[in-house]
Amino acid sequence: MKKLLTLSALACATLAPTAMAADEVNVYSYRQPFLVEPMFNEFTKETGIKVNVKFAKKGLAEKLVQEGEYSPADVILTVDISRLSNLTEKDLVQPVNSDILEKNIPAQYQDSDNEWFALTTRTRSVYSSRDRVGKLGDEFTYADLAKPEFKGKICTRSGKHPYNVSLVSAMIAENGEAATKEWLEGVKSNLARKPQGNDRAQVKAIKEGLCDVALGNSYYLGKMVNDKEQKAWADAVYINFPNQNTTGTHVNISGMALAKYSPNKENAVKLMEFLAGNKAQSMYAEVNYEYPVKADVKPSELVASWGEFKADPISLDDIADHHEAAIKLLDEVKFDL
């Protein structure tokens, strides 16, 4: 009898962690806590599944490589198509077959092999000085940034930042390498200063009169409007959506992927489906001023006030295919030097 009791206790001890794991899902996230934790709390409330999160600013792909098949990661959250495609290139994710994801996320914004899915979109816009430039019309294009009229008037962060690399990649996909290199040379010659800082720093530079136009992601405008120390920067600019009469404005994404060795795959897929649903999509829109990827979820009132725009329909897969070429061109023209 004593032996049987001992075996029974061992069995319970062995099964206990598995039972606990069944009620958990582990997330590796580049997205900040203030943005994703409210959604995770709502997911837990609805499903009873606890969400454990490891936040990081960089190095998640390297961490996944190091952990290998023993990695506890289930879902990976990140920004920009380049970071998502990097996960697939390093074989760190696996396909997800989900009717819900297929229905809620437009084909343009998901991997053709179902290895990553967009959650939100944001435009690579051009900010212009209200006082010195005014609103740029629908005829304005990214190509115009290389024209002589903008000599000494452009600010931007590093050309090799993923946000700019994705824009250059899209231009290569649509115009070819030779034309894109010529454009990069023109933009470089029009810079008011060496590329530096982040997107908000470029808007600040416009406010301070250092430049008149700048590349920047759309959601930063919402962040600045709601920051008492930065509102004056936002009030000094218009947000513009280039290429409205041609290809449409370049759009990038935040997204998610299922880790290759996910130990809680069923829970992970449930979380991914939740994040692509109406409730989470609405929360994304209100908290971070991004555009929901789900078509029937409206952007926040502030974001809607910026006006409607035509998005470039190019597949993000096509953009990702040209990232190496984009970095090569940026090096060739010494864009950041």
Q: Which residues belong to the annotated binding site for Fe cation? A: 219-220
Q: What angle do CA 285, 290, 295 make, to 5 degrees?
A: 70
Binding residues: 219-220
Instruction: Pick the closest to residue 226 from 251, 200, 208 (CA basis).
Output: 200
Instruction: Pick the closest to residue 300 from 315, 283, 317 (CA basis).
Output: 283
End-to-end CA distance of the chain: 78
Q: What angle do CA 138, 120, 224 make, to 5 degrees?
A: 70
Asked whether the beta carbons of 308 and 249 are under 8 A apart, the reply is: no
Q: Which two tokens stand for residue 156?
A: 């931007």
Q: What angle do CA 62, 66, 67 make, to 5 degrees?
A: 120
Asked whether the beta carbons of 252 and 217 are under 8 A apart, the reply is: yes
Give 120's strand partners. 254, 292
Asked whether the beta carbons of 80 and 166 are under 8 A apart, the reply is: yes
The C-alpha atoms of residue 188 and residue 210 are separated, in whole angstroms, by 16
The C-alpha atoms of residue 102 and residue 220 are separated, in whole angstroms, by 29
Residues ≥6 apart with Cβ < 8 Å to 60: 28, 30, 76, 78
